[in-house]
Amino acid sequence: MIEFLDVCMTYDTGNKALRNINIAIGDKEFVFIMGRSGSGKSTLLKLLTKEAEPASGQIFVNNWDLGRMKKRFVPKYRRSLGVVFQDFQLLNDRNVFENVAFAQRVIGASSRTIRETVPQMLKLVGLSSKYKYLPQQLSGGEQQRVAIARALVNRPEVLLADEPTGNLDYENAVGIIRLLQDINRLGTTVVMVTHSQEIVDQTGGRVVVLDKGQIVSDEIC
Ligand X SMILES: Nc1ncnc2c1ncn2[C@@H]1O[C@H](COP(=O)(O)OP(=O)(O)OP(=O)(O)O)[C@@H](O)[C@H]1O
In the complex, least distance from residue 153 CB atom to ligand X, rounded to whole angstroms: 26
Residues found in the chain: 221
For residue 14, state whether it binds ligand X (rule: CB under 6 A): no
Return all residues near 77 (Cβ < 8 A) that are at least 6 apart: 50, 61, 64, 66, 69
For residue 96, state whether it binds another protein (rule: CB under 8 A): no
Stretch in the footprint of ligand X (CB under 6 A) among 9-17, 59-67, 72-80, 151-159:
9-17
Strands 56-61 and 214-220: unpaired
Which listed residue (13, 63, 129, 136) binds ligand X by CB under 6 A? 13
Which listed residue (4, 32, 42, 118) binds ligand X by CB under 6 A? 42
- Mapping DSSP to helix (H, G, I), strand (E, B) and coil, where does residue 43 land? helix
In the complex, least distance from residue 97 CB atom to Mg ion, rounded to whole angstroms: 30
For residue 64, state whether it binds another protein (rule: CB under 8 A): no
Binders in 128-157 for another protein, by CB under 8 A: 150-151, 154
Burial class (CB in 10 A: 0-12, 13-18, 19+), 159: buried
Q: How many CB atoms lie within 10 A of CB 206?
A: 15
Stretch in the footprint of ligand X (CB under 6 A) among 33-41, 75-83, 137-145, 201-209:
33-41
